[in-house]
Every structure is written in structure tokens, then in C-alpha cells.
Structure 1
């Protein structure tokens, strides 16, 4: 086995704003594992709010070089690295490599049903209300929208403006930990009026008890609070939806474990992304077939994507096996 790993910097088309952060580019960790003529590829961005960056992830990968080049299974990888981007990139490369070695697509290796196009949200960064409305109107074929909100007084106006721009679109909002119980209560009537379907991560990590007894008629999704399956207990009685992101849980292998445990506990599933190219979306597309909410729009914000790439049509994402996780082309 031969390992190669490096970081690529890809600019965003426009700056992207969320609570406490503005992003202008994606740093992408790319991992490749070659065994003979077969090469598996994985890509990850890490978890910015845990200081899990592509450069620290690259150090983690390089520290495992002797082990990886000797040969490793996905199950063994779960024990060698914690949840995070480094494990995700390696895990994705192992899945892709096995698909090529066994001439079998990843969805089949994972025991999943054949893939289908998935309705995906298109995400609006927090901005002035009319700017967000204009951007929403610019999404071609949009059928589902996710609004990033932040800790200021404009959130109700943002939601109303986007709803007016896209009267028929399914809509969710993501606070990225930016609300208090009081600020959520103040904007909740506007959310209900605008037919918001899901409120994602309203409160900070560590403040999950703020959800106890919360009078909220809209389903709550937890993202930052649930890193992997060991955190699911925090959501019991507090949330209805679990947002699975492969960068935070550490790859498709753990994502499948998390998804099945969450379903057994009665939660609905969402798949999200930290950004990235089609190589980042592809493993998420596999888990997306289990999810009621899909948020796999990362490549549309990049100045350049992979070739071949995922495609977006009529509000849906489609990932051909030629992008990642498919058999060797004839």
C-alpha cells in the first residue's frame, strides 16, 4: 500500500457567513491509498469549531503512514483515530479502494439500496435580508432552502424575506449555536408563519438542557451537539432529528453505525456537510438514502470542483459512481 496526502486550498465564489465565522475558501485534505493499480481517494475539511483543521489532520495522517502502508481495515481505523476529518479522509479512501478492488460500488458494499437522486437543501449564509432573498432567487431549481442565522436582531426579517422570494420551497434554519431560549422565543412566531420545517442547533454545545421543556412546535435537529453515536443520549427527549456529518463523526463507517443507532432510538436523520468538493459529497450521498433531510450542496459554492463531479438538477443531487466509490471503469 502506498499513501499520499496533501492539502488543497479552493476559494469560495463568495464569502459565507455563519454565527461567529466568515469563510472565504475551503482547505481540503486529500488522502490517496494505492494498492497495485487501484487507487482510493478521500477528502475532508475537518471540524473548524473543534480546531480540527486540514493541516492538523495531515499531521495525524502522516503519523499513521507506516500503519496505513502496511495495510489497515476500516474497523481498525476506528480504534486508531478519534472522530474527525483525518479519520474521515482515510476511511473514504479505504471505501473507494475496496470498491475498485472488488469491482463493487460502495453502496453495495455497505448493504444499501441502489442510489437515487436526493432532494438537497441549498444553503444561504447569514447576510442582510434582501441579500439573502436575492441569493435564494438565484438558486436554479431550488426546492429546499437552509438559512444560516446569527446572533443579531435581523433573523425574523431574514426568514420573511427568503420566504417571500421562494414561497413554495421547503425551509429550515440553522443557528449554529447562536440562540438563547429568549432569542429563539422572540423569533419563533416568524418561523411558524414562514413554515420553517426544522430548527437546527439553536443552542450552544453544553447547553442541551436549554431544550428541556422548550415550547417549540417545530422539530429540532442537533448538529454540533452530536459528534458520533456516543453522544446520542444528549438528544433523547430534546430533539427529533440528528445531523450526521462525516467530517465530525469520522467517516462513512461510523456514520452508518450512528445512523442505525439513531433510527433504533426513534430519531429522524439528516446528512450535512462542512463544505468541500464532490469527493466530500460522495460518501455523504451514500448515507443520504437513509435521511429525511439532505444538505449536500458544498460544491456549488466553490470556484472549482472535481472532474467528474456530482450534478444538481431540479433541486436534487446525483452522484455517479465515476465520481467516487464505484468499480473501475471498463
Structure 2
């Protein structure tokens, strides 16, 4: 067994801005596991929100080389199960877990969805994301998007989010719209912003307040301030969050492989969410189609709605055999990419 880990810097085609700041490149970590005459690959995106750095994540993954050598004596499927106990949920575990899925697919000649016992992913619609900007600029960008499903980045705390939401709805009266504040709204401004979302017929409100503010959201729900709105947890669905507990506050949960620590755990989390009465959204960090491919399998397995796997469209260049079309249509990954 050979484990190779590297850091890739992926330039963006244009700046990407959310409530925490803007970036012009995405730094990812890729793991390659060679065993049994095959090579499996996985990509993760270290996230500063969870105190991860590319160098730290790469070191975490590399440190598992000796452990993987022993775990793989039982095969990739056994190693994936053992990995759940060997590492906490994190980006490094995601890269290794997805590489093990890919490795098994290549060793056995079966696709990942066949191994998982699910149907092959059909073509699905991903939302396309509007980076944070002025209301007028975001409305103009919304008009140009070749899709009818749009995610609106908000949370600037500049008093303009209500105007952003209204301007985008006016520009795209036809579209399915969601907002994503990335924890950027405050309790004081939230009631007015919820009214703006309701007036604009926003279909889903993702993570309006910071993780830990769930009691405030429950008070608003009890007061009827959330009536007619679908509330989705993202950052609150952190690595150690209990999904059943989140269901007391949120209607939906955004599952991201870098938070669940891979596809293996994400498949189980999706089932737990459904059992708790929550709908499932499958999201992503910025990254290439190599990172999105396992997300497409998760989306197919969980019946996710919405699907948010548009990360590669922000890159100056995706990896070969990309799964995402310009209109946000996601296809099943080709064998040349993953799985």
C-alpha cells in the first residue's frame, strides 16, 4: 500500500465572497491510495471555520499511512468502517474515505453506487451561487445565471441584505431561491430579514444565525416568525452535532462531506435526518469535480433537495472528466474521475 498526499492550489475564475470574506483561490488536499493494483483518489477542502489548514489536514492524512497499510488487509470496505473510529470527522478523513471508495470501485470493477447498493445518480440540478455584492450587481448576475435555482450569499451586516433579496427576486421572478448567511445575521436584525425572505418567496433559509443560537430560533418559531419558511442547518450541523437534536430547530440539514468526514458517515447521517423528519440538502465547499463526485452519490442516495454542488464552476479550470455543466446540471461521475 502506498499513500500519497498533496496540496493543490486551484485558482478561481473570479472572486468568491461570503459573510466571512472573499477569496481568489481554493486550496485543497488530495489523497491517493494505491493497493491491489489500483489507485483511489479523494479530495477535501480544509475549512478555517473548523480550525483546519491545508498543511494540517495534509499532515493528518499522511499520518494515517501506517494505519491504512494494516487496515487494508481486510479490504477497502473494512478499512472505511475502521476509519470511522480511527479518526474524528474532519476534512482529512473525508479525503481518505472517498479514496477508499474509489479504490474499491477500481479493484472490483464496480461503480461506487453499486457497492453502496443504490441506483446510479441521474442527472440532477444544482443550485448556482451568487457571490455577495451590492444589490444591483447581484440582481444583474442573477439575470445572467443559466438556471432556475439560485443560492444568494448574504450576511454582510451592512443593512443591505433585505435589498439584495428583493432585487434578486425582482430580477428572477421565475427562480427557486435560497439565502445563505453563513451565520452572518444577528438576532436583532433577523425578524426584519425573515419578513424580507417571506415577502420575496424565498424557498429555503440556510444558517441565518451562528451555531449555538438555536434557542433564539426556537423562540421565533414558537412566536410564528418562521411560518412559511424552511430553515436549514449548515454550520450548526458541525462535526459533533446530533442531527436528532437539530430537528428541534431546523426543517432541513445541509450535509457536506468535509464535515461528516466522508461519504460513509454522510450516508448514515442522511438516513438519520430522514428518520428525524428533516429534509436533506447536499452541499459542498469550493473544490473540483473530484470532491463533488461523492456528493452526487450522496444526493442520489438521500433524495436530496436542494443539491448544491456548484463548486467547480468557480474554478478557472476543473479537473478532467468534470461532472458539472455550466447550467448547474450534475451528472454521474465518469470512471476516469472517481468511483
Q: Identify the TM-score tier after normalising by the shorter chain.
A: over 0.9
| TM-score of the aligned structures, taking structure 2 as reference length | 0.92
What whole-Å deviation, never above 9, does each CA across 1:231-279 have from its counterpart, x for those lacking one? 2143132110010000011000010110011111111000000110000
Deviation at 1:19, TM superposition (A): 1.2
The worse-fitting range, judged by mean Cα deviation, of 45-54 and 88-97 is 45-54
3-state DSSP of counterpart to 1:8: strand
Q: How does 1:145-160 map to 2 (within 5 A)?
A: 145-150=150-155, 151-160=157-166
The worse-fitting range, judged by mean Cα deviation, of 145-154 and 89-98 is 145-154
The residue number in structure 1 matching 2:331 is 318
The residue number in structure 1 matching 2:99 is 93
The residue number in structure 1 matching 2:148 is 143
The residue number in structure 2 matching 1:281 is 292
3-state DSSP of counterpart to 1:311: coil
The residue number in structure 1 matching 2:76 is none
Matched, 1:262 2:273: yes
User: Does the C-alpha gap of structure 1 residues 195 and 100 become closer, same or farther in structure 2, counting only changes over 3 Å?
Assistant: same
Equivalent residue pairs, number: 325
Kept in 1, the 8 Å contact 2:244–2:273? The answer is: no
Deviation at 1:181, TM superposition (A): 2.7
3-state DSSP of counterpart to 1:188: helix
Equivalent-residue separation in structure 2 for 1:252 and 1:16 (angstroms): 26
Equivalent-residue separation in structure 1 for 2:230 and 2:320 (angstroms): 38
The worse-fitting range, judged by mean Cα deviation, of 51-60 and 237-246 is 51-60
The residue number in structure 1 matching 2:30 is 30
Question: What is the aligned counterpart of 1:307 among 301, 320, 327?
Answer: 320
Equivalent-residue separation in structure 1 for 2:240 and 2:108 (angstroms): 29
What whole-Å deviation, never above 9, does each CA across 1:45-98 have from its counterpart, x for those lacking one? 023201112211101011111112334410111111111100000000000000
Kept in 2, the 8 Å contact 1:45–1:85? The answer is: yes
Deviation at 1:298, TM superposition (A): 0.1
3-state DSSP of counterpart to 1:187: helix
Kept in 1, the 8 Å contact 2:310–2:324? The answer is: no
Kept in 2, the 8 Å contact 1:172–1:197? The answer is: yes
What whole-Å deviation, never above 9, does each CA across 1:207-253 have from its counterpart, x for those lacking one? 21111121212010001111257521431321100100000110000
User: Does the C-alpha gap of structure 1 residues 228 and 113 become closer, same or farther in structure 2, counting only changes over 3 Å?
Assistant: farther
User: Does the C-alpha gap of structure 1 residues 193 and 237 become closer, same or farther in structure 2, counting only changes over 3 Å?
Assistant: same
Q: Which runs of 4+ in 1 moved over 6 A?
A: none
Deviation at 1:325, TM superposition (A): 3.7
3-state DSSP of counterpart to 1:221: strand
3-state DSSP of counterpart to 1:196: coil
3-state DSSP of counterpart to 1:14: strand
3-state DSSP of counterpart to 1:33: strand
Kept in 2, the 8 Å contact 1:19–1:176? The answer is: yes
Equivalent-residue separation in structure 2 for 1:107 and 1:319 (angstroms): 10
Kept in 1, the 8 Å contact 2:3–2:31? The answer is: yes
3-state DSSP of counterpart to 1:27: strand
Equivalent-residue separation in structure 2 for 1:238 and 1:311 (angstroms): 32
Equivalent-residue separation in structure 2 for 1:310 and 1:8 (angstroms): 19
How large is the Cα RMSD of the aligned pairs? 1.5
Question: What is the aligned counterpart of 1:250 among 246, 261, 272?
Answer: 261
Equivalent-residue separation in structure 2 for 1:236 and 1:193 (angstroms): 25
Matched, 1:45 2:45: yes
For structure 1, the 5+ residue unaligned runs are none
Kept in 2, the 8 Å contact 1:246–1:273? The answer is: yes
The residue number in structure 1 matching 2:16 is 16
| TM-score of the aligned structures, taking structure 1 as reference length | 0.94
The residue number in structure 2 matching 1:78 is 84
Q: How does 1:208-223 map to 2 (within 5 A)?
A: 208-214=214-220, 215-217=225-227, 218-223=229-234
Equivalent-residue separation in structure 2 for 1:313 and 1:300 (angstroms): 7
The residue number in structure 2 matching 1:224 is 235
3-state DSSP of counterpart to 2:119: coil
The residue number in structure 2 matching 1:57 is 57
3-state DSSP of counterpart to 1:312: coil
